[in-house]
Amino acid sequence: MYRSVLMLQCCRNLQYLSLAYCDRFTDNGFLYLTTGKGCHNLIHLNLSGCTQDVCFRVSDVGIFHLTGVSSVNKLQELNVSHCSLITDISVKRIAERLCKLHHLNLSYCVKLTNTSLEWLNGSSICSLDISGCNIQDKGLDAVEGTHLRKLVLAECVHITDLGIEMTDNAVKYVTTGSRYLRELDVSGCVLLTDRSVQLLERICPPLRSIAMTCCCNISKVAALKLQPCVKHWEHSNDYTPYWFGNDVGIVHPITRPINTDVT
């Protein structure tokens, strides 16, 4: 693996690099990528972990190496999906050091919390995927300070084997700062209700694309109200499939949360 990475140092004009599914690539590989002649013109870097096994080889140390040099200051797109050792401190480094970054995929980085969104507040990010991350409703309040045009919240915000917890309050936070938001995906967020649709109607336009598949508490009647307002529309109120979330290590079927209200 490292012999291959060393060869990349000769590719001074390399702009697009994908190391996806390279399960032998570790934090040390970043040192070879970013030192010496290095790859100083990278625009797109894909470090996503193997979809068959969550990546345990790339951690905060690797992101520290990546963001610690000027050789990646042209980076516009970064994908660290399924790198489950990455924590909020990596997002802080990314937000502070990669000033030209526009597209960031953090999906299934299961150690990320609300703090990550706070670090991204005011950053250059315009497209963000935090599917399957441990983001709470309140964390989405930070979206108000961003220029996001695309936001993917599928299987959010608090994934457990009891259910996927995302409530209408989260949508309220998203819609509050939505001057720039064009695409929104809340698929698999089973706690969303028709009230969320009412909130989303407020931002159509500029919202152009909405995906609400496996949102079992959003009725077809309510969802259809959004269809003429956007160019791309998806909805199903099917219950979440038993395999939903299996790629982040959930071994139990995901079901609807138990209603504890006393009637």
pLDDT in tens, 155-182: 774 532 233 345 666 676 676 666 778 8
pLDDT in tens, 102-145: 999 999 898 999 899 889 988 889 999 999 888 877 777 777 76
The answer as to whether 129 is a domain residue is yes
Q: Is residue 58 part of a domain?
A: no
Residues 137 and 203 in one domain: yes
Domain hosting residue 93, numbered range: 1-51+65-112
d(C-alpha 133, C-alpha 233), whole Å: 24
Would 197 be classed as within a structural domain? yes
Q: What is the mean pLDDT of the chain?
A: 76
pTM for this one? 0.78
Those residues with Cβ within 8 angstroms of residue 104's Cβ, 6 or more apart along the chain or in another chain: 77, 78, 94, 120, 125, 127, 128, 129
150-152 and 127-129: which strand pairing? parallel
Query: Residue 140: inside a domain, yes or no?
Result: yes
Residue 59 lies inside a defined structural domain of this protein: no
| Same-domain status, 82 and 127 | no
What is the maximum span of the chain, computed from C-alpha positions, in angstroms?
A: 69
Helix (H) or strand (E) segment spanning residue 63:
helix 60-67
77 confidence band (pLDDT: 50, 70, 90): very high
Sort strands 232-235 and 209-212 into parallel, antiparallel or unpaired: parallel
The count of structural domains within the chain is 2
Q: In angstroms, rounded to a whole number, what is the distance separating the alpha carbons of residues 248 and 51? A: 9
For residues 256 and 129, membership in a common domain is answered with yes
The reply to whether 95 and 176 lie within a common domain is: no
Q: Is residue 56 part of a domain?
A: no
